[in-house]
Structure formats: structure tokens, C-alpha cells
Structure 1
Amino acid sequence: MESRKLYFSVKLLFMLTSLLLTLFILVACTSSGETNGSNTNSNNSETDSIETGNKKLTAVKQVTNWFAEPEHGGQYAALAKGFYEEAGLDMTIEPGGPQVSSITQVSTGEAMFGMTQADDLLIARSQGIPIVAIAATFQTNPQGLIYHKSQGISHFSDLNGHTVYTAPGAGYWQYIKAKYELTNVKEMNYTGSLANFVNDPGAVTQGYITAEPFSLAEQGIETDILLNAESGYNPYANILYTTEETIKNHPDIVKAFVEASIKGWNYYKDNYEEINKFLLEYNPDLSIDLMKHGSEAQMDLVYGGDAEANGVGYMTEERWNLLMEQLLELKLISKKEDVKNVFTNEFLPSN
């Protein structure tokens, strides 16, 4: 149990710092003048092929944003059920983690596809990294602020007077503070541990609706959560993306990847228990009960909203424009760009 608590408590901290690591690595490589001829653009300008029986497959790698978990269920379903192979892809899924930045790998050509958050993608583009969203697996962001049920908190404005643990510089927290005039909160840095939250009934901590509430309940701690999306700050989560160059040079591979991934998510909806057993092979730190909770908690977040009418992965200009305006106001990006350059629905399967 202790390993699972640590597993989920470091997750959010990693996601909020991974982009900074990406930018550091890219700047370091540029300043040293070194290039990696064997890896650079290996998935963007050229592709490798293998033959399986009489079928020729294109070798492709995608990098997720964390270790294998239900939040990646559709990707692993596509792998388990052979949907990528049916689409002509010899797929490798590399899990993210504390030492893995999907943005670095995709932007340097070490991987063709990655997974990140919508606000991180916009921040990366503002730094000159030409990545493009090609599907949004979560319509509603699963991040939120967890509180002890005994506190009677029901609204973001109720956070005044409480100690709140968040990762330094978190965009959602800057937004919530300003919008709800949280002038009487004690801000504490989220360190990757839930111990302070557990020991202080008046404390509030960042977390995922799919994870921490279950782990805390196992300890006998009753909690509830205010989803950040309910505040008005709702970046698409776990978006699939690639580079502008890949879209230009290999649109057929992008289309095959997206369609197979969405087929995987559609399968996962009704068969998550089957796929969760497959996920366990890739991440034995999880438990079946925990994954069941995560799968059920994310159903409306993945398959609701615009996905209900338009299919999993669908994105709108309105949502992207709103997020861009919010990041500009928070000074997390410095300029606005046409969102038609930021995302595309053209590779999504038609309903």
C-alpha cells in the first residue's frame, strides 16, 4: 500500500515539472552544438518497417505521460487486441515517469507520438517546439483539490482559511486563486507526499479523482474533491500529439495511429477489466481494485462531453482558444497563435 501511495503522490509533481525538464534538455543540446544523427527525426522523416508473415508493418513508438495505468487504457487496449497491428503499425508503448519526457522524445524524433496535457502543449509551442494535438483522450481533466469530508467544503471559495498543498507554479492554482479571491489561504508546496494532508484535517491537496481518493479511503480517510475543471480551468488531458513534420510527411501513419488508438478506447469502455489485467503486466505496482476504481471514475471524463456526440478524442477551437486566453492572462505564455496550428481533428475516425 505504501508503494501505491508514493506512486500516485509523485504523479502530479512530475507532470508539472516534466515540461521544464524538456526545455532544459533541448536548450542544453542546442548550446553544446551536438546532434544525434541516428535518432534525430528518425520517426519524423524516415520510418522503419518489419515484416510479420505476409504483412509489412511500420515500427512506431509512442510515449505516455506516466507508468501504465487506466488513464492510458485505450492505448494499451489497442496494443493488447492487435488494433495497431491491424492498422499496419508495429507499436511500442514506452511509459513515462520521473526521468522520461515525452515532449523531448517526440520533438527530437526518438518517438513519433506522445501524451501530455493541453496547457503543457501550448507552453511548449510558445517555446518554439512544433508539436500538434491529434486527439484528446480526456474531455474533462481528472485533476482536482482533495479535502477532508469533515470540513464541509463545497466550493472553491470555501478554501479560504485552509492550508493548500499544490506544486509550485501550477497554472490551475494560479487561475483558481485569482477567480475565487483566495486571499486567506496558507499555500504550501506539494512535495510528493500525502502525509501532511493526512495528519491535518483542515488541509487540502492536489490529486487525481482516479487515484488518491481511493488510496486515502483504504486508510480510512474520507475525502471529497473539487475538480479543477469545475473552476473554469479545464485543459484537455492526456492528449495524443506528434510534430508538424510528421503530419506533413507521414499523414497515413498519423491516421493509422489515431484510428487504432480510438478503437482501443472504444473497446476499453466496456472491457476495462480485461485490459486492466493486461496493464498489470506493464505496471505490477497497481492493484486490480485500484484500477477498477480509476476506470470507473474516468468514464464520464473520457466518454462524456463532446465525445458523447462526436466520439472519443474530439476537440474544439472554442476550448483551445479559451485555454490560450487563460494562459496569456496567467503569463504562462507570451503570445497568441491560431489554434488551427495547435490541434487537428482530421485524423479522428468518422462517426
Structure 2
Amino acid sequence: MISSHPSTMLRSVFILIGCVMISGCGISDSSTNPSPPPISGGDALQSAAVQLNWFPESEHGGLYQAVADGTFQAHGLDVTIRPGGRQSPVAPELVMGRVQFAMANADDVVLFRNQGADIVAVLATMQNHPRCILVREDSGVKTFEDLAGKTLQRQGGRAFLEFMRSKGLLDQVKEVPYHGSVSSLVTDKDVAIQAYSFAEPLLAEQQGVKVRKLMLSDLGWNPYSSVLITTGDMVRKQPDLVQSFVDATREGWQHYLDDPTLGNQAILKANQHGMTIEALQFGHQELKTLALPDDMPPESLGEMTDARWQTLVAQMVELDLVDGDKVRASDCYTTQFTESAEKMPDTVSVE
């Protein structure tokens, strides 16, 4: 990811959600939250749309793979992928029923629910979050504590920054805005930047600079990433559609991790913002370790645990980012669509 997700624009997202609710588009009212009609039989395909939270990149590879290789179609689905951007209205698109699914991070789901949006995670592609602080190898920074005295380019308001701040790791760090470029890091060894492990490191190294990644997951901040989300209304009233979409998405991810050729071709066609095959290949290799870490079996791809969600919500309550009376971990996700692991073919080869 070349820059942070549009969920950094949560304030505008929440305003939009509020407008929807005030105007009568109730979150759980199916009469104002239209969904695709059920399959009528025969070879008819059920239409569904999924909103990305950023421009198409390798983190969306499973979706593009499932379209390109016919996996969605094999599951009876005609899927439209809507690319995101810097201000993608993920939550409002779901709440207003303009899409049935979307991509987000787990901490975004918690924030959405804190604002009253009935949004539910149904699949988590990345078990480990790709968020990192990127530094030059010659900076002398080997740990988060070594950031003292350095300048950190970051986008304000992000939950991971509050987590770092709560541990005193930013007390002696100069924080300045981040504008989505590695140029300052390349030219100044005393500059660190927020990054995703499968994007910015390649950009820096292509400019001849060796870098080191300080992973936030090692620090204890590890929300699920590339999470497939939908509304509680969809889960309750169209579980068959949700099941089909989850099954196809999981299979698409397995195919992508095994051989990303078709998915990457589709991403390159969809992304007109400087995406390259080198960036996608780099991201694909990194994704293997994030989606299936610690010898996690391929058939478990996408699964979520209550312990992880409980930890995340507790962290965000402690950081005063959400109200513990409004958000319960058990409401943020469901495993009912990922429990049938036997449905998934064992096709992923992770080296």
C-alpha cells in the first residue's frame, strides 16, 4: 500500500453514516438497505458488489483472482469490484446498500460499530497486520525505542499511533505529516515513515536505499487486515449469499497465493495509479507470510478467533478510541461462514 487507507478519513465517513441514518436509511432496515435478489434457478448468476478500501493492490489479490479465473462464477456469483481511493466511503456504501461487501481492517470495523454502523467481519485475509515503521538501515534504528530523536512521517488520527503513544514510544519523536512518498526517507537517514510491509520497502530499495521494517504486530498491535466485511442485515437475511461470497473469496485467495498471475494481470488493468508488476510480485511474496504465518494450514486461511477480537476491542477501549459500552467484540465478527474448512481445497504452496 503506497499510502494509508482511506479509513484515515473516518470523520467524513461518520458524517456520511449519520446523514444516512437521519434521512431514514436505517442500518438494519432491509427495506432501505437493498440487496441482490436471490438466484432464480438454472444458470442465473447472483449479482454482488464489493467496495475496496484503497486502489487495487496485492492486498486485494484474492478478489481479482476469483473474478479472473472464474471462481466467483463457479459459485453462482456475478461480482463487481469497485476500486477505492484516498477517501473511499466504505461504511456508507455498505450502510446505504450500494454494495453488499467491502474491504477494511479490523480496527476500522470496531470504529464503524462505535459510530452505530451494523458492520460485521466475515473473513480475515491477513492474520498479521502489514503496518510497520520504515527506517533506513544506516539510521541506527533497530527497535521502536531507537526512534527517539528521529522524525516520523505519519498520518494523524491512526489507532496504531495512539498505541505507540501509550507506550511512550513517540515521546521524543518529532511527528510530521506523511503524504504517501518515500522521498524524505530516501534523502534523510533520520526520517522514518509509516508504511505497509508489502509496498513502501520496495519503493525505497528501488531508489538504492536499504531499509528496516519495525512491525507493529511485534509490538502487540495486530488487528486482522484485508478483512471482508458486510452488514448485519446481510448476515441475518441473506446468509446463503454471504456464504457463497466468502467461499469464493477464500478460494480466490488460495489460488492467488499459489499463483498470482491472473490476479495480478487484473489488478494492473484496474489500477491506473502507477502500479507495476514488480510491486505486485513483491507484495505477493510478503502476503504469503501475513496470510498464513507460523505454518498455519492453507485450509485455515481467513479464519478469526474471539481472543484476537477481544484483545483488539480492549486495546481500543483502553486507548479511549471507542466506548466499551457501545462495542462488543462478539458483534464485530462472525465465524459462521468460515467454519466449514473442509470445503476449501488444499492448493496453496507457501515457501
In angstroms, what is the RMSD of aligned CA positions? 2.3
Does the residue aligned with 1:340 lie in a helix, a strand or coil? helix
Query: Would you say the 8 A contact 2:17–2:91 is kept in 1?
Result: no
Equivalences for 1:250-269 in 2 at 5 Å? 250-269=238-257
TM-score, normalising length: structure 1: 0.89
Query: Would you say the 8 A contact 2:17–2:117 is kept in 1?
Result: no
In the other structure, the counterpart of 1:321 is: 310
Query: Would you say the 8 A contact 1:139–1:305 is kept in 2?
Result: no
1:41 is matched with which residue: 30, 33, 36? 33
1:188 is matched with which residue: 171, 176, 180? 176
Give the CA deviation at 1:88. Answer: 1.2
Give the CA deviation at 1:311. Answer: 1.0
Distance 1:34 1:341 in 2: 23
1:213 aligns with 2:204: no
Distance 1:279 1:209 in 2: 19
CA shift in 2, pair 1:192/1:278, >3 Å: closer
Query: Would you say the 8 A contact 1:211–1:294 is kept in 2?
Result: yes
* Counterpart AA for 1:131: I
Distance 2:230 2:117 in 1: 11
Query: Would you say the 8 A contact 2:125–2:226 is kept in 1?
Result: yes
Give the CA deviation at 1:69. Answer: 1.3
1:312 aligns with 2:306: no
CA shift in 2, pair 1:170/1:306, >3 Å: farther
* Counterpart AA for 1:15: S
CA shift in 2, pair 1:304/1:159, >3 Å: same
List gaps (5 residues or longer) in structure 2. 343-351
- Percent identity, please: 30
Distance 2:235 2:72 in 1: 18
Distance 1:307 1:344 in 2: 20
2:8 is matched with which residue: 16, 34, 37? 16
Query: Would you say the 8 A contact 1:163–1:203 is kept in 2?
Result: yes
Count of matched residue positions in the alignment of Structure 1 and Structure 2: 337
* Counterpart AA for 2:331: N
Query: Would you say the 8 A contact 2:147–2:169 is kept in 1?
Result: no
Give the CA deviation at 1:122. Answer: 0.4
Give the CA deviation at 1:180. Answer: 4.6
Give the CA deviation at 1:227. Answer: 1.2
Query: Would you say the 8 A contact 2:124–2:226 is kept in 1?
Result: yes
In the other structure, the counterpart of 2:74 is: 86
In the other structure, the counterpart of 1:299 is: 288
In the other structure, the counterpart of 2:347 is: none
Give the CA deviation at 1:76. Answer: 1.0
Superposed CA offset, 1:34-71 (max 9, x none): 7699x94122xx527688xx501111111111122111
TM-score, normalising length: structure 2: 0.89
Equivalences for 1:1-351 in 2 at 5 Å? 8-9=1-2, 11-12=3-4, 14-17=6-9, 19-31=10-22, 33=23, 40-43=32-35, 47=37, 54-284=42-272, 285-305=274-294, 307-308=296-297, 311-336=300-325, 337-348=327-338, 349-351=340-342
Query: Would you say the 8 A contact 2:68–2:262 is kept in 1?
Result: no
CA shift in 2, pair 1:48/1:101, >3 Å: farther
Distance 1:181 1:56 in 2: 55
CA shift in 2, pair 1:312/1:73, >3 Å: same
Query: Would you say the 8 A contact 2:55–2:85 is kept in 1?
Result: yes
Give the CA deviation at 1:26. Answer: 2.0
Does the residue aligned with 1:56 lie in a helix, a strand or coil? coil
CA shift in 2, pair 1:40/1:160, >3 Å: same
Query: Would you say the 8 A contact 1:13–1:191 is kept in 2?
Result: no
* Counterpart AA for 1:316: T
